[in-house]
Amino acid sequence: MTVLATKPSRPHATQDRPRRRRTPLERREAFAGVVFVLPVLIIFLMFRFLPIAGAGGMSLTEYAINGEATFLGAENYQRLLNDDVFWHSLGVTVLYVAVFVPMILVVAMVAALLLESIVKLNGLFRSLLFLPYVTSFVMAGIIWTWIYSSDGPINSVLSAIDLPAIGFITGDQILVLASLALVSVWKGFGYAMLILLAGLKAQSGDIREAARIDGANGWQTFWLVTLPMLKPVVFFVLVIETIFSFKVFDTMYVMTGGGPSRASYTLIYMLYDQGFRFFDFGYAAAIGMALFVVVLALSLVQRRIFERKEA
């Protein structure tokens, strides 16, 4: 994803040369270039460009499992806009993003600040904090299903001291989404932590030291000096995690099945159901297009807001 942040440029190669016949060496080079790029080009044409074009096309049809397609025009989209389940799943997804993103940013920021200041055993702590990142959401989901369960560790402690059990993934919608978000934070905050940590280390310590000498306490230094200087990095993490969490599916599939009563039924879950439980491929493709539009709009809006604040 850094791709979007870095700008590839190679000035001397992109300059326009006057048009002339290629020399034999240049022709050999060009031929080699085409041959070397060919495997990737074929793979992309087949499995990336074709499906991207196909997604738009399919969303305009009713596509049966036997491959028969009937052109419908915008009918799938009209149906989508009138489908309560679609608005519900979009709402669930937005709510989940709204819970997850602040949670992961805070945890990752605290972890990065701690790692930046801690002297002893720094490497070990960094490894332990990053550890869950290499596991799968399925694995994370299995462990946390047990942790959250009625005879898991938390509820056992609660029942031992005569408190009612908490239905982490069976209770209120907001509790369920927060519990699911915590699983993703557990698995994923290591990435954001490393990016933020690198940003912190790239800052000159002089400015923070100066603020401290001027009498700012730790909290003031963080809010007025460290954080403003870190803004581009925070923004990078924010965009990546927002887009990432919009596509959430794995933890719901493993832990709640979208429930209880669709409380955690996200956009991708609906797409999966429409496509692979009801085999309504055209409609599912339209949901995919909606997802694409939302993700694209998100990155544009965030970019715009950020640029305005910068100016």
Residues 42-101 that bind other proteins (CB under 8 A): 43-44, 46-52, 54-55, 57-58, 63, 67
Tell me if 127 contacts other proteins by CB under 8 A: yes
Taking CB under 8 A as the binding criterion, the range among 73-81, 84-92, 171-179, 206-214 that sits at the site for other proteins is: 206-214
Tell me if 161 contacts other proteins by CB under 8 A: no
Tell me if 201 contacts other proteins by CB under 8 A: yes
Beta strands (DSSP E) in the chain are 61-63, 69-71
> What CA–CA distance (Å, rounded) separates 103 from 109?
10
Tell me if 168 contacts other proteins by CB under 8 A: no
Q: How far is the CB of 7 from other proteins (least distance, A)?
A: 11
Secondary structure percentages of the chain, helix, strand, coil, to 5: 75, 0, 25
Beta strands (DSSP E) in 159-309 are none
Contact 286, 59 (CB under 8 A): yes
Q: How far is the CB of 183 from other proteins (least distance, A)?
A: 10
Tell me if 146 contacts other proteins by CB under 8 A: yes
Tell me if 29 contacts other proteins by CB under 8 A: yes
- Residues from 246 through 275 that contact other proteins (CB under 8 A): 247, 249-250, 253-254, 257, 268, 271-272, 275
User: Coil, helix or strand for 129?
Assistant: helix
Tell me if 143 contacts other proteins by CB under 8 A: yes
For 49, other C-beta atoms within 10 Å of its C-beta total: 12
Residue 200: its H or E element: helix 173-202
Tell me if 240 contacts other proteins by CB under 8 A: yes
Of 11, 14, 20, 214, the one binding other proteins by CB under 8 A:
14
Contact 110, 118 (CB under 8 A): no
What one-character DSSP code corresponds to residue 190? Answer: H
Of 61, 72, 105, 141, the one binding other proteins by CB under 8 A:
141
Of 81, 85, 202, 224, the one binding other proteins by CB under 8 A:
202
Tell me if 126 contacts other proteins by CB under 8 A: yes
CA count, 13 A, side-chain hemisphere, 90 = 16
Tell me if 239 contacts other proteins by CB under 8 A: no
Taking CB under 8 A as the binding criterion, the range among 91-99, 147-155, 172-180, 301-309 that sits at the site for other proteins is: 147-155
Of 71, 209, 210, 297, the one binding other proteins by CB under 8 A:
209
Q: Closest Cα partner for 286 from 83, 98, 93, 95?
A: 83
> What CA–CA distance (Å, rounded) separates 137 from 156?
25
- Residues from 277 through 306 that contact other proteins (CB under 8 A): 281, 284-285, 288-289, 291-292, 295-296, 299
Tell me if 137 contacts other proteins by CB under 8 A: yes
> What CA–CA distance (Å, rounded) separates 129 from 186?
9
Identity of the residue, 78 or 136, whose beta carbon is nearer to other proteins in the bound complex:
136
| Two tokens, residue 272 | 């999966």
Tell me if 199 contacts other proteins by CB under 8 A: yes
| b/e code 68-81 from CB counts within 10 Å (16+ = b) | eeeebeebbbeebe
Tell me if 276 contacts other proteins by CB under 8 A: yes
Count of residues that interact with other proteins, criterion CB under 8 A = 122
